[in-house]
Amino acid sequence: MKDDPIIDEVRKHRQARAAKFNFDIDAIAADARKRERTSKRRIVLPPRGRSHRSHM
């Protein structure tokens, strides 16, 4: 498969963020929740109920 520079960049940043939290998923999730709470951006959640993938 051909290398994709955008995917490579996303993976690089994901790896750096994980390393920042010593690869602790709980710490990564806590940081994400904290950033959501303090963000001025609108957070859009998927609708509750049936998953859109369930009928694919």
Residues in Cβ contact with 31 at an 8 Å cutoff, skipping those fewer than 6 apart: 21
For the cut 70, the answer to whether the pLDDT of residue 2 exceeds it is: yes
Domain-wise residue ranges, the chain: 1-36
Q: For the segment 8-53, what is each residue's pLDDT rounded down to a tens digit?
A: 999 999 999 999 999 999 999 999 999 999 999 988 888 888 665 6
Question: What is residue 27's predicted lDDT score, i.e. its pLDDT?
Answer: 98
Token duo for residue 1: 């498969």
Token duo for residue 24: 């602790």
- pTM greater than the 0.75 cutoff: no
Question: What is residue 49's predicted lDDT score, i.e. its pLDDT?
Answer: 80
Question: What is residue 52's predicted lDDT score, i.e. its pLDDT?
Answer: 58
